[in-house]
Amino acid sequence: MTQKLRLGMVGGGQGAFIGEVHRIAARLDGQWDLVAGALSSDPDRALDSAQDLGLDADRSYHSFEEMAAAEAQRPDGIDAVAIVTPNHMHADPSIAFLNQNIHVICDKPLAANLEQAQAISAAAKRSTAHFILTHNYTGYPLIRQARAMIAARELGDIRVVQVEYAQDWLTEEVSNKQADWRTDPSRSGAGGCVGDIGTHAHNLMCFVTGLTLESLSAELSTFVEGRQLDDNVQAKLRFTGGARGSLWASQVAVGNENGLRLRIYGTKGGLEWSQENPNQMNFTRFGHPKQILTRAGVSSDASNQAASRIPAGHPEGYLEGFANLYRDAADLIRATRDDSFQAPEHHIGLQDGMDGMKFILACLHSSQQQGTWVNLLDVN
């Protein structure tokens, strides 16, 4: 049997949502053991959280700096660290572990601002370790099949890309652990909704289509009185090669829970997929009846099957998609050490994170200038 990789975690202590998601995802395929953590900036909460998770007391650290230095010296030190803190605390831990040549698995977006993102990039270039970003929707089996279909030109030349991500949980003023940091520019960065879920929409459309976003015209709105960051974004998109698109992300769209939806239309066909029904995807060849493709079904390709765990008709979704990223990370790390292991075909990494940061800034710059078109190459 292949030995499990050892995982550490920064953030994700008691009461944290995304930390538990990462832990479940890491466990799902039996590839990782969580063995160390700096789980909270509060020492008592950090120790209590470590005890809840069964970590040894000597591997519950008071700070990520202490953790990075100590784990790098241990013969049984961690292979990778998961960074599951708010956005403003992605850069410093990432850099600390990269400096110790420890692989980093970081929650999205890359950082709170472009300066922090560039600092991570510089550290990654100096390091022998990999940097992996968890845009988890890229792990869904049908999303991987959609990417393969477009790469094989089953849709022909892409003409139109429509992506939306609609939620309603911030329709009114909310105060809780999840809402407070996401609406606080000192912790979230200058983008609110555009950074939180707009980056997911941006990453998903670029991952599936393989297109490069060239320029955009955006309007960011803040509908809830007193809120410091945007809660709605609407953008028109121009891609290299001539394709056009639009992106809408909102956290004040009443009646929507997690409405991530992607529609792609080319010269020969179209694809339509919704995250809330992720085990089906509509595919239409021009002039032919619409087909319903399914996860692991008779129409599934190798990429779909490789990302599926159970037979067709049994639903898989958010946690399994996240787990695929952890499986990819494990494969990537093992392949760098042993040629007998095969690296994943693709993984979401540093360049994807930098593209996401430039997307946020382009939207902010455009909106501040009344929707003027901003070229992403000019964003710095």
pLDDT exceeds 90 at position 339: no
pLDDT at residue 1, as a whole number: 58
pLDDT at residue 156, as a whole number: 98
Query: What is the number of structural domains in the chain?
Result: 2
Cα torsion through 10, 15, 18, 20, rounded to 10: 80
pLDDT exceeds 80 at position 370: yes
Say whether both 371 and 226 belong to one domain.
Answer: yes
Say whether both 28 and 106 belong to one domain.
Answer: yes
pLDDT at residue 380, as a whole number: 85
Segment among 12-16, 21-25, 30-34, 271-275 with least mean pLDDT: 12-16
Say whether both 199 and 303 belong to one domain.
Answer: yes
Residue 154 belongs to a domain: yes
Residue 27 belongs to a domain: yes
What number is the average pLDDT over the span 150-171? Answer: 98
Residue 317 belongs to a domain: no
Residue 332 belongs to a domain: no
Say whether both 51 and 168 belong to one domain.
Answer: no
Say whether both 148 and 116 belong to one domain.
Answer: no
- What's 145's domain CATH number? 3.30.360.10
Residue 82 belongs to a domain: yes
Last residue of a domain, one of 129, 150, 181: 129
pLDDT at residue 43, as a whole number: 87
Say whether both 253 and 211 belong to one domain.
Answer: yes
Last residue of a domain, one of 62, 94, 129: 129
pLDDT at residue 359, as a whole number: 98
Say whether both 213 and 251 belong to one domain.
Answer: yes
Half-sphere exposure (CA, 13 Å, Cβ side) for 235?
36
Residue 334 belongs to a domain: no
pLDDT digits (tens, 9 = 90+) for 87-121: 999 999 999 999 999 999 999 999 999 999 999 99
Say whether both 155 and 299 belong to one domain.
Answer: yes
Last residue of a domain, one of 129, 157, 180: 129
- What's 85's domain CATH number? 3.40.50.720
Residue 153 belongs to a domain: yes
C-alpha 98/C-alpha 88 separation (Å) is 17
Domain limits at 259? Answer: 140-308+355-375
Say whether both 71 and 211 belong to one domain.
Answer: no
pLDDT digits (tens, 9 = 90+) for 109-152: 999 999 999 999 999 999 999 999 999 999 999 999 999 999 99
Q: How confident is the model at residue 2 (pLDDT cuts 50, 70, 90)?
A: confident
pLDDT digits (tens, 9 = 90+) for 36-66: 999 998 888 999 999 999 999 999 999 999 9
Say whether both 172 and 36 belong to one domain.
Answer: no
pLDDT digits (tens, 9 = 90+) for 240-253: 999 999 999 999 99
Give me the chain's average pLDDT, please. Answer: 97
Residue 350 belongs to a domain: no
Say whether both 12 and 119 belong to one domain.
Answer: yes
Say whether both 105 and 78 belong to one domain.
Answer: yes
pLDDT at residue 284, as a whole number: 98
pLDDT digits (tens, 9 = 90+) for 197-256: 999 999 999 999 999 999 999 999 999 999 999 999 999 999 999 999 999 999 999 999
